[in-house]
Amino acid sequence: MRVHLIDGTYELFRSFYGAPPATGRDGQEVGACRGLLRSMLALLREPDTTHVAIAFDHVIESFRNQLYAGYKTGEGMDPALWAQFPLAEQLCDALGLVVWPMVEFEADDALATAAARWADAQGVEQVLLCSPDKDLGQCVRGDRVVLFDRRRKEIYNAAGIEAKFGVPPASIPDLLALVGDSADGIPGIPRWGMKSTAAVLQVYGHVSAIPDHDLAWSIKIRGAKGLAKSLREQREDANLFRVLTTLRTDVPLEQSELDDLRWRGANKDALTQICEQIGDVAALARVPAWI
């Protein structure tokens, strides 16, 4: 079997900016939820979709904001998008999906925890992390746990992650810590660009293993002296950024058994009510099974 773990926050963002706007029964914007509904129905209608869970950032802030003041917040998010998160969670629950609304942790942490928990479960052939988010690349394991970009229909196994980012999955947190990740508010370390960082991490793997002085490096790279100096002066920041970019695998998910993720069908009454609310009752005809 294949386990589909979905980044609900990404799906809702993608629908908000990619699907046509629409007004619901109460006059509120619901276009993102309509797009999300159709995306999930398309997934559920595929024959190999049997075990599914979806995670949302119920609030944008997490424990990482307590560690670093510059970490991403919900500031600047379009209110019309933010207002649809509660409805999106209700919609997915009505569809019969396991829903993880994250508060202390982030949606990616829930997905990372689930992948670690069930990748080796009996009967599991593959875990698909349904998101193009590079942060989740660190969770990839060979061909067993892969990153699946549903929009582009691209699958990245461990070799694919290394080809795309220049480092193996285990070094993705280090790459993001050094290069930075503007989407998460992580500035990175000055001078450390993608190419040079990937080359250094190919040798040392992790920030903590990179020697302070370039003369101790076993790799010859242009600008090594400046890179080493910058890291030496901001080693503490680099270590903190690595903590921020490392996904947690200890999120207390309610589900303990793989069978808890089995999709058994949608709740007809609940989903009908939501479809009426968002003005898309036609979608009900595409539901493949009801409970």
pLDDT for 145 equals 98
The span from the CA of 269 to the CA of 226, in Å, is: 63
pLDDT for 48 equals 93
The span from the CA of 251 to the CA of 58, in Å, is: 14
The span from the CA of 281 to the CA of 273, in Å, is: 9
214-240 pLDDT, tens digit each: 999 999 999 999 999 999 999 999 999
The greatest distance separating any two alpha carbons of the chain, rounded to the nearest whole angstrom, comes to 68
pLDDT for 172 equals 98
Rounded to an integer, the average pLDDT of 5-14 is: 98
Tokens at 23, concatenated: 């007004």
Q: How does residue 67 score in pLDDT terms, banded at 50, 70 and 90?
A: very high
| Number of residues assigned to the chain | 291
pLDDT for 285 equals 98
DSSP state of 218: S
DSSP run (H or E) holding 127 = strand 126-130
124, 3 in Cβ contact below 8 A? yes
Provide CATH 1.10.150.20 ranges for the chain: 169-245
Contact partners, residue 214, CB within 8 Å, separation at least 6:
224, 225, 227, 228
Q: For residues 1-19, b (16+ Cβ closer than 10 Å) or e, as one string?
A: bbbbbbbbbbbbbbbbeeb
95, 269 in Cβ contact below 8 A? no
Provide CATH 3.40.50.1010 ranges for the chain: 2-161+248-286
Tokens at 243, concatenated: 């903590």
Q: How does residue 116 score in pLDDT terms, banded at 50, 70 and 90?
A: very high
DSSP state of 126: E
Tokens at 149, concatenated: 């970009």
35, 83 in Cβ contact below 8 A? no
Strands (E), 11-80: 49-57
CA-nearest of 270, 260, 261 to 94 is: 270
pLDDT for 126 equals 98
Phi, psi of 85 (to 5 degrees): -60, -50
pLDDT for 184 equals 97
Question: pLDDT averaged over the chain?
Answer: 97
CATH number for the domain formed by residue range(s) 2-161+248-286: 3.40.50.1010
Q: How does residue 114 score in pLDDT terms, banded at 50, 70 and 90?
A: very high
**Domain 169-245, CATH number (from 1.10.510.10, 1.10.150.20, 1.10.1740.10, 1.10.275.10):** 1.10.150.20
DSSP state of 264: -
